[in-house]
C-alpha cells in the first residue's frame, strides 16, 4: 500500500465569513430548539425552522439530513460523520439520491450539538429540507470524467454560498433543487431538477450554461425544458435570481401538490415562462449579484487536480482471480489521468439496506481514502461512494480492504445496485416499505453470473409519491402505494435518466409485497427472451414496448389465481 499522500484539501475551504455564518446558524438553531422545548414556539412555528436545518420529525424519531455539497467529502469529514452517527445515533447513516446523509434516530435535543460538530469540520445541514433552495448536487465524476467540458464543482460551491439563507428566496412556494453537470452524459439527473445547469463553452471558448427549468419527480413528474441555450458564467446568479423571483411571486401556494416550479412552467408554457424570466432579468441584472472573475478564480483554485504521479495505464485485472476481475469490471471506472481509476464503494451489499453505511465503515473508508485517493470521498446520486483517484497498481489491495468491510459487492450498474428511499420503516411520509422489497430482490437475484448476464438494469424504488427513490426514471421503477391499509407496489418500465431522460410507463395494477421480486423476475425473463445482440434492457424495452412485459406479468398472476 502507498504511504499517506501529503494532505492537500483540493476542495473548498471555509474562510472566516463561511465559518462565522455556520457558527451563527448553529447558535440560532440552538436558541430555536430551546424555545421549542420550553413551549415558546409552537409545533407549527418550529416546523419551518427545523426543516431549514435539515430536521424532520419521522415515524420513530427525528431524521436529520446532513448536506454534502455536490457530494464531496474529505476523509476528515467522513470520519466525523461516522463519529456523529455513533455518538448521536445508532451507528449508521443513509446516503440519499441527492448526495446527502440521513441520520434516522437522533434526539431532537441533541441536534444543535450535532450541527456544532458538523460546523467544526466545515459542514452543515442548512436547507436540506423545507421550501427553499436545497443542497446543490453534481456529477460524481466531476473533475475526472474523460468527457467533461469543465469541472462543475466550483460553480456548485458558488451556488451553495449564494443560496445559503437567501433573504428573498428562503420561503418559496415549495422546495427548489439545482443540479450542475459538466459532461454530455448526465450523471446528476439534472433533467429532473427544478433547475438543471449543463456546462458549455461558446464559440470563443467562454464558459457558460445551458439552463433547464421545470423538471422534477414526485406527483406529476416532468422533464426539465431548455429555457436558455447559453448563459454566460458572469450572469449565473442574476439569472437564477430572475427565475426564482418569477417563481416566488407566481408559483402556486394554494395547493402543496401544485406548488413546484414545474407546475408554473407547465401552466404558462416554456415560452411565456421564458418571457417573464427574461423581462425580470433585464430589469434586475444591473443591480443583481455580480460574479467577478476574481471570485470565480478564488473558488476554482480550491478544486485543482491532486498531485498525480506520472504513470502508464496497466491491466490491473490481468492474472487475478475472477472475483477481483468482476469487481474491477463493475466497480471501477475510467479516469482521465493515465494510471488511475475511479473506484465505487458499493453500499448495495445483498442483505443490507441500499445506501446505508455503518460508522465503522465510514471511518475505515475515510482512512483508506487518505492512503489511496488523496483524502477525498464522493457520495453518488446512486447511493454509493466513490474513491475518485486511485492508482491502478493498488486496486487489488483496495479491493481486499473494501471486501473485508463488506463494501466490494461487484454489482455497480447491475440490477441489485438499486436506489431505494428509507420507506415506511423510517419515513412518516411513506405508504409502503422499501427495505424488505429491496432485500427480497437481492435474494431473488443473488447469483452474480445471472446478474452480469442481465447487464445494466436500473431499479429505483420509492415508498411514496414524493419519489425520493426516483422511481419514475428507473428502467424498472417501483412505487409503494397504500391499498386499504396494505403495502402494494406499482411497477413502471422504461424510465431513464442517464443521457436520455424518460419517465416510465405503468405496467398495470399494483402487486402485493411478496409478489414484487417474482414480478421483476418475470420482467427480466421477457427481456432475456427478446433481447437482440448486446441490447441492454432499456433498449429492448424501447424497441418492443410495454405489451410483452405486461402480458407476461399479468398472465402469470391470473395463472396463480
| Site for other proteins, residues 384 to 423, rule: CB under 8 A | none
Of 14 and 452, nearer to other proteins (C-beta) is 14
- Beta carbon of residue 249, minimum distance to other proteins (angstroms, whole number): 5
Of 213 and 415, nearer to other proteins (C-beta) is 213
When binding is defined by CB under 8 A, the residue of 109, 168, 275, 482 that contacts other proteins is 168
Helix, strand or coil, per DSSP, at residue 93: strand
**Range in contact with other proteins (rule: CB under 8 A) among 44-52, 78-86, 320-328, 450-458:** 44-52
When binding is defined by CB under 8 A, the residue of 53, 127, 164, 376 that contacts other proteins is 164
Helices (H), 38-134: 43-51, 75-88, 111-119
The answer to whether 291 contacts other proteins (rule: CB under 8 A) is yes
Neighbours of 302 (CB within 10 A): 14
**Range in contact with other proteins (rule: CB under 8 A) among 244-252, 303-311, 316-324, 419-427:** 244-252
Neighbours of 64 (CB within 10 A): 31
The answer to whether 167 contacts other proteins (rule: CB under 8 A) is yes
Of 289 and 545, nearer to other proteins (C-beta) is 289
**Range in contact with other proteins (rule: CB under 8 A) among 115-123, 280-288, 361-369, 461-469:** 280-288
Distance CA 480, CA 492 (A): 12
- Beta carbon of residue 16, minimum distance to other proteins (angstroms, whole number): 8
The answer to whether 281 contacts other proteins (rule: CB under 8 A) is no
**Range in contact with other proteins (rule: CB under 8 A) among 290-298, 370-378, 424-432, 477-485:** 290-298
The answer to whether 17 contacts other proteins (rule: CB under 8 A) is yes
Of 297 and 314, nearer to other proteins (C-beta) is 297
**Which residue is listed with cell 416546523?**
47
Nearest CA among 472, 416, 419, 455 for reference residue 539 = 455
Q: Which three cell numbers stand for residue 538?
A: 432499456
Strand order in 101-103's β-sheet?
55-57, 62-66, 101-103, 92-95, 356-358
Binding residue count for other proteins, defined by CB under 8 A: 40
Question: Long-range contacts: 321-325, Cβ < 8 Å, 24+?
Answer: 323/410, 324/396, 324/399
Give me the helix-helix angle, 261-268 and 270-284, nearest 10°: 110
CB 221 within 8 A of CB 187: no
Measured between its terminal Cα atoms, the distance across the chain in Å is 58
Of 45 and 147, nearer to other proteins (C-beta) is 45
Q: How far is CA 510 from CA 168, 376, 474, 489, 558, in A?
A: 43, 42, 16, 5, 14
Of 287 and 310, nearer to other proteins (C-beta) is 287
Q: Which three cell numbers stand for residue 52?
A: 431549514
**Range in contact with other proteins (rule: CB under 8 A) among 26-34, 112-120, 476-484, 530-538:** 26-34
By CB under 8 A, name the binding residues for other proteins. 16-17, 20-21, 24-25, 27-28, 32, 44-45, 48-49, 131, 161-162, 164-172, 237, 245, 248-249, 253, 283-291, 295
Amino acid at each position: 500500500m502507498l504511504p499517506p499522500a501529503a494532505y492537500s484539501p483540493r476542495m473548498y475551504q471555509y474562510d472566516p465569513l463561511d465559518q462565522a455564518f455556520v457558527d451563527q446558524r448553529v447558535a440560532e438553531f440552538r436558541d430555536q430548539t430551546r424555545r421549542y422545548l420550553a413551549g415558546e414556539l409552537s409545533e407549527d412555528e418550529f416546523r419551518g425552522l427545523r426543516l431549514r436545518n435539515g430536521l424532520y420529525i419521522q415515524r420513530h424519531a427525528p431524521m436529520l439530513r446532513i448536506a454534502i455539497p455536490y457530494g464531496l467529502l474529505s476523509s476528515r469529514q467522513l470520519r466525523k460523520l461516522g463519529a456523529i452517527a455513533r455518538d448521536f445515533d445508532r451507528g449508521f447513516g443513509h446516503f440519499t439520491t441527492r448526495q446527502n446523509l440521513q441520520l434516522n434516530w437522533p434526539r431532537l435535543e441533541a441536534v444543535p450539538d450535532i450541527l456544532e460538530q458538523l460546523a467544526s469540520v466545515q459542514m452543515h445541514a442548512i436547507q436540506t429540507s423545507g421550501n427553499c433552495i436545497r443542497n446543490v448536487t453534481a456529477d460524481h465524476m466531476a473533475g475526472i470524467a474523460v468527457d467533461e467540458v469543465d469541472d462543475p464543482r466550483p460553480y456548485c460551491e458558488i451556488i451553495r454560498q449564494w443560496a445559503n439563507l437567501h433573504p428573498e428566496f428562503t420561503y418559496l412556494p415549495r422546495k427548489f433543487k439545482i443540479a450542475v453537470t459538466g459532461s454530455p452524459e448526465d450523471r446528476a439527473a439534472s433533467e429532473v431538477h427544478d433547475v438543471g445547469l449543463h456546462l458549455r463553452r461558446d464559440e470563443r471558448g467562454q464558459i457558460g450554461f445551458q439552463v433547464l427549468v421545470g423538471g422534477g419527480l414526485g406527483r406529476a413528474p416532468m422533464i426539465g425544458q431548455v429555457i436558455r441555450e447559453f448563459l454566460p458564467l458572469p450572469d449565473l446568479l442574476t439569472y437564477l435570481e430572475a427565475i426564482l423571483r418569477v417563481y416566488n411571486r407566481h408559483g402556486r401556494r394554494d395547493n402543496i401538490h401544485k406548488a413546484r416550479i414545474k407546475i408554473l412552467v407547465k401552466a404558462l408554457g416554456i415560452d411565456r415562462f421564458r418571457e417573464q424570466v427574461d423581462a425580470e432579468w433585464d430589469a434586475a441584472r444591473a443591480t443583481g449579484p455580480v460574479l467577478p472573475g476574481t471570485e470565480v478564480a478564488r473558488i476554482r483554485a480550491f478544486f485543482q487536480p491532486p498531485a498525480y504521479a506520472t504513470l502508464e495505464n496497466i491491466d490491473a485485472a490481468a492474472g487475478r482471480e475472477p472475483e477481483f476481475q468482476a469487481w474491477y469490471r463493475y466497480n471501477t471506472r475510467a479516469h482521465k489521468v493515465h494510471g488511475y481509476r475511479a473506484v465505487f464503494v458499493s453500499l448495495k451489499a445483498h442483505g443490507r439496506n441500499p445506501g446505508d453505511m455503518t460508522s465503522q465503515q465510514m471511518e475505515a473508508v475515510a482512512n483508506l481514502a487518505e492512503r489511496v485517493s488523496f483524502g477525498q470521498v464522493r457520495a453518488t446520486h446512486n447511493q454509493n461512494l466513490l474513491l475518485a483517484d486511485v492508482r491502478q497498481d493498488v486496486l487489488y489491495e483496495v479491493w481486499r480492504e473494501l471486501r473485508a468491510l463488506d463494501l466490494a459487492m461487484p454489482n455497480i450498474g447491475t440490477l441489485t445496485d438499486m436506489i431505494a428511499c428509507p420507506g415506511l420503516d423510517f419515513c412518516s411520509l411513506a405508504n409502503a416499505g422499501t427495505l424488505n422489497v429491496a432485500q427480497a430482490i437481492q435474494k431473488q437475484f443473488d447469483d452474480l453470473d445471472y446478474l452480469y448476464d442481465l447487464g445494466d438494469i436500473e431499479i429505483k424504488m420509492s415508498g411514496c409519491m414524493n419519489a425520493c427513490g426516483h422511481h419514475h426514471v428507473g428502467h424498472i421503477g417501483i412505487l409503494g402505494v397504500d391499498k386499504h391499509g396494505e403495502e402494494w407496489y406499482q411497477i413502471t418500465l422504461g424510465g431513464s435518466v442517464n443521457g436520455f431522460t424518460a419517465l416510465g410507463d405503468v405496467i398495470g395494477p399494483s402487486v402485493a409485497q411478496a409478489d414484487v421480486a417474482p414480478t421483476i423476475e418475470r420482467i427480466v425473463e421477457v427481456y432475456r427472451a427478446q433481447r437482440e445482440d448486446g441490447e441492454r434492457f432499456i433498449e429492448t424495452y424501447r424497441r418492443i414496448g410495454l405489451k410483452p412485459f405486461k402480458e407476461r406479468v399479468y398472465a402469470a398472476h391470473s395463472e396463480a389465481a
